[in-house]
Amino acid sequence: MNEKKYKYLIITPSIFIFFGIFFPVINLIRFTLNSNPLKNNNNSKSITYSYEILSSDNKILSKLSRKFDVLDDTNSIPFFLKYSFISGEDKRFFKHNGIDLIGLSRALINNIQSRSFKEGGSTITQQVARLIFLNNDLSFQRKIKEMIISLILDFKYSKSQILKLYLNNIYLGSGAYGVNEASQVYFGKFINELTLSEVALIAGLAPAPSIYSPYENIDLAIKQRNKILESMYLDGHISLGEKDSALQEKVKLNYQIDNKNLNDKLLVNYILEEANKIIKTHKKYKFLKIKSSINKNWQEIGQHISKYIGPNNIEIALVSIESNTGLIRTMITSKNPSINEFNRVTSAVRPLGSTFKIIPYAAALIEGRKLSDKFEDIPTCWKDYCPNNFSENYLGKISLTESFKKSSNIVPLKIANNIGLKKIINLANLFGLGYEQKLEEFLPLAIGSYGDNLLNITNAYAVLNSNGNLYKPSIIEKIESKNQELIWENKFVHKKILAPKVNKNLNNLLEKSVSEGTSIGASIKGERIFGKTGTSDENRDLWFIGSIKNLTTGVWIGFDENKKSNLSSGNAAYFWKKFISKIFDLKIQ
């Protein structure tokens, strides 16, 4: 082999190797330098303010500290919180430049001596690099990238900013991202309300949240807490007295305290979404106290009894509206809201079935029809549309009252056809229906072929329980900032949409439906109840909407997959009755 060929064989691979490493590293450096994790962290979808959500009787439903503002130097990290994580995760945080060679060497020696992986050696800055720019892949390439990014982060940002990024983003188990969420999940507190013992327990979760979770193994969590406290003492961050006091403190987790937070993210998120709609300038506030309309006792009762609806994978939703204010007193979104991610009260748009029939009957009464007026309840076709009554049971010539009581399909279809579908649609819109799924001039709409959500159909029935007044449903009574400064208060705005006589006649129909008709499953001896059941094809959707006293409550039962069921609308009516009997302390058979 001549000398030229030899040099070529040596130099060519070297060039490829050099550029194969050099360019990716240069690109990584350029990308990191151009990125601004501080800005991205502040503009995340996380709530920009601390909040406290109260029930209607001023019990705490939820409270959460906002994430640390990485751009605001005046937003400081509490002392114990700062040094609990530094003692536990990165003792030399303020001394190294993003990579701690001393700590890395110590971890390596300890791991070799113990013949196990006891220490990771990653600095807090390296963990930030992994949290924001990388992933948790165990590879040599990822570790090199992590170290390069850490050096750049330490060069670009202050230690305080890096620590805030870490505390805002670290996963601490049970769905908690950041110490603010961990404070809420484990103790139901704001960050500044945490004791030294509680701070140490949260810091102890960082290495392995699933292993050290107090919800999974309280003894191991306490042992880890004690280890953090000992480190803080040895590092000079707490006194011997503070350490001993924290060691003696009994751990009281969120579910163990009397006024525990509700474990219902969907309900809390809905309240926050509504608050943000009300206060367009919510980003300027650092704290909001939101008084919701939720009755905490009713909410817990509804959630408890919903667990026993079977079969296991069938779902349920319930909403209770105070009829003469529009305030939402109860909102059950699922049998298991702690793992549920879908609000079936507001987001599930399902065929309304016979619950919609109140609209054509209302239209008939508005047009001057009387409850005693007769209609032919017989098999009827409209061109090629030939609907049936339930069980193909026809009653011949019957009054409006009898047809509604027996939930005839033929009669409301005849009403809609005679009056005109446009008038039916306009009236439905007036009641707040037909916006989730636009109503078209299609005859089957008269018997509930179109869909809507549980909140809207329940609020439509609340009109009949409030003398024909339509209120906008609301889950918030008032919002205050710090020092109880009033920002917004519910004014209960409403409009009259039904004349008193029409409203009275419609309630007559609803009362007959419960006392003598298809909705009898909801009847309670000695109580006046106004309601209607509804069912979609093959029992896929089971409804009951009913009013008692000044409360209108809607229930939906069905499968998320829209499967047919072996239940009936009577099950929805009975669940309604069970819930109502519990909250009003009524005896039922």
Task: Give pLDDT tens digits along the chain (589 positions).
Answer: 455 444 444 444 554 444 454 545 565 555 555 566 666 565 445 678 899 999 999 999 999 999 999 988 889 999 999 999 999 999 999 999 888 887 667 656 765 666 654 555 689 999 999 888 877 666 667 778 888 888 989 989 999 999 999 999 999 998 899 999 999 999 999 999 999 999 999 999 999 999 999 999 999 999 999 999 999 999 999 999 999 999 999 999 987 665 667 778 899 999 999 999 998 776 678 899 999 999 999 999 999 999 999 898 999 999 999 999 999 999 999 998 878 889 999 999 999 999 999 999 999 999 999 999 999 999 999 999 999 998 889 999 999 999 999 999 999 999 999 999 999 999 999 999 999 999 999 999 999 999 999 999 999 999 999 999 999 999 999 999 988 899 999 999 999 999 999 999 999 999 999 999 999 999 999 999 999 999 999 999 999 999 999 999 999 999 999 999 999 999 999 999 999 999 999 998 7
User: What is d(CA 179, CA 334) in angstroms, rounded to the nearest whole number?
Assistant: 27
State the pLDDT at residue 26: 63
Question: Exposed (0-12), middle (13-18) or buried (19+): which is 157, by Cβ within 10 Å?
Answer: buried
User: What is d(CA 554, CA 544) in angstroms, rounded to the nearest whole number?
Assistant: 6
- Provide CB contacts within 8 A for 26, sequence distance 6+: none
State the pLDDT at residue 310: 87
Closest CA to 103 of 125, 119, 121: 121
User: What is d(CA 189, CA 181) in angstroms, rounded to the nearest whole number?
Assistant: 9
Q: How far is CA 207 from the centre of its chain?
A: 28
564: left (phi over 0), alpha (psi -120 to 50) or beta: beta
Q: What is the DSSP letter of 382?
A: B
User: What is d(CA 108, CA 502) in angstroms, rounded to the nearest whole number?
Assistant: 82
User: What is d(CA 364, CA 419) in angstroms, rounded to the nearest whole number?
Assistant: 7
Phi and psi (nearest 5°) for 419?
A: -75, -35
Q: How far is CA 588 from the centre of its chain?
A: 33
State the pLDDT at residue 19: 44
User: What is d(CA 547, CA 48) in angstroms, rounded to the nearest whole number?
Assistant: 39
Q: What is the DSSP letter of 310?
A: S
